[in-house]
Amino acid sequence: MRIIVTLFITFEGPEGSGKTTQVGLLSEALIDKGWSVLATREPGGTRIGNAIRNLLLDVDHTEISARAETLLFNAARAQIVDQVIRPALDAGQIVLCDRYADSTLAYQGYGHGQNLDELGMLIHYATAGLTPHLTIYLDVVPEDGLRRKRNADTPEWNRLDAKQLAFHQAVRAGYLQLAAADPKRWLVIDTTQDVMRVHAQILAEVKRRLGKRVEEQL
């Protein structure tokens, strides 16, 4: 009997939390073990999504309203779910995504103060109900995260990064509330630790979940 195990893992966190680094490390580790892995990001991951990303994150587009911002993020999300994520899962791949639907709740919900129930309905439509099996939240206080991003070798300082510190603090508080409300799905990791120690914690949890999903098919 051939066992096909799929796992949809998303990475969330404030700016400068190290998501992109950890997605890369996990992808390499899983591929080395023989797993078929697709790593992608939001917004982006498709031609349409990348065009929306450029529009959303341009520092000159300060006039974008909170509602327009929300709709644009979810348009890019619908495209990547339909074109990339769902087909990869159907093909038996492990999918790693740098940001996903919880970013809308954290940034456009807690950050901008929009109604969470309304955002939830929009997210459900954009994702067609596709929920991650595991969401890894990399925690960092906004002051440290923004400083890391400014000092990065290849900084991508964007329109959301440039918002007031209070906005980023609200986003982090929102993430922590989301994680506390659904502890079975979320893994919260303190990123003040060494990068490889963070990776080791992530890899251990992913191995545990993969093992459990294999057992479920036996």
CA neighbor of 133 nearest in space, from 3, 5, 1? 5
- What is the average pLDDT across 65-71? 97
Residue 92: inside a domain, yes or no?
Answer: yes
Q: Which of 4-18, 40-54, 169-183 has the lowest mean pLDDT?
A: 4-18
Query: Percent of the chain scored above 90 by pLDDT?
Result: 80
Domain count, the chain: 1
8 Å CB contact between 135 and 12: yes
Residue 2: inside a domain, yes or no?
Answer: no
Residue 37: inside a domain, yes or no?
Answer: yes
pLDDT tens for 16-59 read 899 999 999 999 999 999 999 999 999 999 999 999 999 998 88
- What is the average pLDDT across 167-192? 97
Strands (E), the chain: 7-12, 37-41, 94-98, 134-139, 186-190
The CATH number of whichever domain residue 119 belongs to comes to 3.40.50.300
Find the farthest-apart pair of alpha carbons in the chain and give their distance in angstroms, rounded: 56
Domain, as residue range, for 55? 7-217
pLDDT tens for 83-139 read 999 999 999 999 999 999 999 999 999 999 999 999 999 999 999 999 999 999 999
The two tokens of residue 133 are 């099996």
* pTM, two decimal places: 0.93
User: How high is the pLDDT of residue 33?
Assistant: 94
Residue 158: inside a domain, yes or no?
Answer: yes
Instruction: Count CB-CB contacts under 10 A for residue 183.
Output: 9
The 3-class secondary structure across 164-175, one letter per residue, is: CHHHHHHHHHHH
d(CA 80, CA 86): 8
For the CA atoms of the chain, what is the radius of gyration? 17
**Average pLDDT of the chain to the nearest whole number:** 93
Residue 1: inside a domain, yes or no?
Answer: no
d(CA 135, CA 97): 9
d(CA 8, CA 87): 12
User: How high is the pLDDT of residue 57?
Assistant: 87
Q: How confident is the model at residue 181 (pLDDT cuts 50, 70, 90)?
A: very high
User: How high is the pLDDT of residue 4?
Assistant: 74
Residue 158 CB partners (closer than 8 Å, separation 6+): 57, 58, 59
